[in-house]
Chain A
């Protein structure tokens, strides 16, 4: 109980909010991405059409998922790719370990995979004596800091450059006090080169899996997926079942929106297509379910599988920007994190970490109806008797109260009087979180209804 209480979103967010200048810095850094996104999206006249096509194409694929996955598997096999199926995270980790153990892998370099985070793969492999090196700069930073990602595209966004400088000084031996991004990036690059050269295997996530080609697409800005996959002979790619798309044309639609919506770039620096092992090497694709089929059964939740993980909804979310990625009690934070994580949330609070403002749904390149999904999660939680913040005890009372004019009128008349005659300081403790942060409303003399009766009755 005590752990789950301290994991409640509002509690963690309140702690994050105590350092206001940091909140402002965090909010501004992410809003800058949203602004870049607006400029990039606005530069293509057909942006809204692309969103519509992206949405329809993803929905189509999801409703014919079994067929496309089979087609993908068959074409992979034709291309000499080994395909594995995992029903959950544990099975995924076991499969990966078996492959690595068979090849006596001691060190693996990894790039771009929220799925392996979702499966908690790194600790699993490390316990079995395999060193896992994350090679995206942001991911390597948080790996060195022993932290999980706080954002799905810019995982170390919560760290200031001075903090990265300190970390690199300790772990990579850079100069003490150095915080120049160029200097730090160069140091990271040198460090990562050594890792690539000494790794026995490489692993990446998958942005899209192209069914009719039997190929996977990986988007990076640093070229590290290529560095990884092209050096050792053994390459692994993990993907959720939702990543499959019918053909190159559909992948092209998503490629046009993904990077624009993520960081405002026209396209990521590298969009790598892998469709077979190197000469004498092995290529494995692991296709993971991990709860996705269950989501498909609920028509509203199913739409969250249209997500292409651009992170746009996190950047625009006013709550995420002010509460930080670690407040969500799930690997993926922000609106999409609530959409896919609320079921697993034992605090039952993240579904309420949202004002339902709807900005995320409009920002989304595949039109995931995030606010509707989040609202739906609340209903599912309520129906399961899992309401946070004492709602299960007071909501029935609110229901009764609001349905009764007499109760409402009497008590509101009393509240108006109280607001008038009591000094604000006396009322504040009673008005809870409202009065803690805001001035209480100035009370009117009468209700509108009373005024209407008197003046128009």
Chain B
């Protein structure tokens, strides 16, 4: 398939290794990958704060970067940015061209589960990993059944990773409780955000896993900051890095 990468500002600027792993793994799977120019931010810091006027220009800039780009799918390795992009594109532009972009948007895990599943992994990953079930992916993108919901359960995140040979998947206590990042919440509500992050980091470490693995780089950045502040024996990794290592 021909895939356009949607690399949000945070990934581009702060965790390029996540972008690289995403690119490499998609290439290893035989896809043609391009990076449309002119991407900055999905507008989430502004719209999450209620500031829709301030978000408009940024959002439309990102949307324009994808309009008219020839591809089968637009893939993003950051769940909350993807959710925001979808919602904000819709909010500020209801043209058919915008709709065409929105319909091609996929979060990486979602893409690998629903659209182009990985036929087989070539290398084992003999480590214990603790899954970070970030809220926007779970509850807004439906990557997994949230713990509040009753009835049959599904979990795309686990399903994609479980196919890797010798991987050992565990969950932290209070499986999908929010880690407390919440965008500007991390700064506005520093004390509560930090306490939530601390609890989450400790819960991951308490599993004895080597890595806390997630699909949302912003949550991972926050948890990583808490892990290092408390000197916990665990490291954070993005799902793309784990998959890339096993291909």
Contacts and interface: CB of A to CB of B under 8 A. Distances in A.
Interface of A: 9-10, 13-14, 17, 20, 23, 27, 31, 38, 41-42, 44-45, 47-48, 316, 318-319, 322-323, 351-359, 361-363, 375, 377-383, 387-389, 391, 395-396, 398-400, 402-405, 408, 412, 415-416, 432-434, 436-441, 443-444, 446-449, 451-452, 456
B178 A355 contact: yes
Nearest to A411: B13
Given A399-B46, A402-B41, A408-B40, A17 B192 contact: yes
B93 interface: no
Q: In the A-B complex, list the 8 residue pairs whose CB atoms are closest, starting with the nearest.
A: A438-B225, A378-B50, A355-B182, A433-B190, A399-B54, A437-B194, A448-B19, A357-B178
Interface string B63-101: 000000000000000000000000000000000000000
A248 to B, nearest CB: 25
A9 B45 CA distance: 20
A402 B43 contact: yes
Contact of B23 (A399, A438, A452): A452
B225 A434 contact: yes
A447 B16 contact: yes
Nearest to B80: A356
Nearest to B228: A439
A354 B196 CA distance: 12
A323 B192 contact: yes
B194 to A, nearest CB: 3
Nearest to A449: B12
Interface residues of B, number: 72
Interface stretch (B106-114, B148-156, B158-166): B148-156
Contacts of A45: 151
Contacts of A380: 50
Interface of B: 7, 9, 11-20, 23, 35, 38, 40-41, 43, 45-46, 48-58, 61, 135-136, 139-140, 146-151, 174, 176-178, 180-197, 199, 221-222, 224-226, 228-229
Contact of A352 (B41, B177, B185): B185
Q: Is the interface of A mostly helix, strand, loop or mixed?
A: helix
Contacts of A362: 139, 146, 148-149
A353 B189 contact: yes
A388 B178 contact: no
Contacts of B146: 358-359, 362
B225 A440 contact: yes
Contact of A318 (B40, B136, B177, B186): B177
Given A437-B193, A451-B20, 8 more contacts: A27-B199, A382-B50, A391-B51, A402-B45, A405-B38, A408-B41, A416-B13, A437-B194
Contacts of A378: 48-50
A47 B11 CA distance: 40
Contacts of B224: 439, 441
Contact of B195 (A20, A44, A379): A20
Nearest to B181: A355
Contacts of B20: 448, 451
B211 to A, nearest CB: 16
B72 to A, nearest CB: 19
A10 B191 contact: yes
A323 B188 CA distance: 14
Contacts of A9: 189
Nearest to B14: A441
B16 A358 contact: no
Contacts of B50: 351, 375, 377-383, 387, 391
Contact of B16 (A48, A316, A404, A451): A451
Contacts of A361: 139
Contacts of A17: 191-192, 195
B226 A382 contact: no
B150 A444 contact: no
Contact of B57 (A323, A383, A395, A399): A399
A14 to B, nearest CB: 4
Nearest to B227: A439
Contact of B182 (A48, A357, A387, A436): A357
B54 A396 contact: yes
Contacts of B13: 408, 412, 415-416, 447-448
Given A355-B182, A452-B35, A10 B190 contact: yes
Contacts of B61: 403
A41 B147 CA distance: 11
Contacts of B192: 10, 13-14, 17, 319, 322-323, 353
A318 B54 contact: no
Nearest to B48: A356
B46 A398 contact: yes
A424 B245 CA distance: 31
Given A375-B48, A434-B186, A441 B221 contact: yes
B3 to A, nearest CB: 13
B52 A359 contact: no
Given A14-B190, A408-B40, A354 B16 contact: no
A415 B14 CA distance: 10
Contacts of A396: 51, 54
Contacts of A10: 188-192
B182 A447 contact: no
20 contacts: A27-B199, A47-B150, A48-B150, A48-B151, A318-B178, A354-B182, A355-B196, A359-B176, A359-B177, A375-B50, A382-B50, A388-B188, A395-B46, A395-B54, A433-B190, A437-B197, A437-B229, A441-B221, A441-B224, A449-B12
